[in-house]
Amino acid sequence: MSDLRSLYEEVILDHNRNPRNYLHKPEGANHHAYGFNPLCGDEFTIHLTLKDGVITDVGFEGAGCAISTASASLMTEAIKGMSVAEADALFRSVHNLLTHEGEAGDIGKLQVLSGVHEYPARVKCATLAWHTLNAALHNDKETVTTE
């Protein structure tokens, strides 16, 4: 029981049930990217409004499992108001949190994703939205995948 709860934290279940900024089309959205994991079927499109190097609004659409949906939802909450440089730094921190490839540092609420590391088959679910964000920020037109 304790094991599974470390993956399916209450915050994750809540963000899966009620994803934030979901189906929200930001006004003046000027950056978009599409992420798709073909083996899973998880897919998300992320829309950003970037003004003077700051993410003023963000929304996402698509469908996936609880881990990928909650990760996308938590991400949109976290990055709103951040500069591109701050969002890039957060992307690296979350990547480190999930893969243990480096220090994650203090990432606040996103710490709830730490349990995913113990489930290697699910890391790709949690990272999908973040890699899609990275593509949106840097105008990568290719479909993003984490498989």
Binding site for another protein (CB under 8 A): 3-4, 7-8, 13, 16-17, 39-43, 63-67, 69, 119, 121-122, 125
For 33, phi and psi rounded to 5 degrees? -155, 155
Q: How far is the CB of 13 from another protein (least distance, A)?
A: 6
Render 11-65 in DSSP notation, one character per residue. Answer: HHHHHHHS-TTBT---TT--EEEEEEETTTTEEEEEEEEEETTEEEEEEEEEE--
Residue 43 or residue 57: which is nearer to another protein going by CB?
43
DSSP 8-state assignment for residue 107: -
Q: What is the DSSP letter of 144?
A: B
Q: Judged by CB, which is closer to another protein: 23, or 39?
A: 39
Q: Nearest distance from residue 136's CB to another protein, in Å? A: 22
For the bound state, the minimum distance from the C-beta of residue 83 to another protein, rounded and expressed in Å, comes to: 33
| Secondary structure class of 66 (helix, strand, coil) | helix
Instruction: CB nearer to another protein: give 123 or 137.
Output: 123
By beta-carbon proximity to another protein, the closer residue of 38 and 81 is: 38
Q: Is the Cβ–Cβ distance between 12 and 70 less than 8 Å? A: yes
Supply the minimum distance, in Å, between the C-beta of residue 115 and another protein.
11
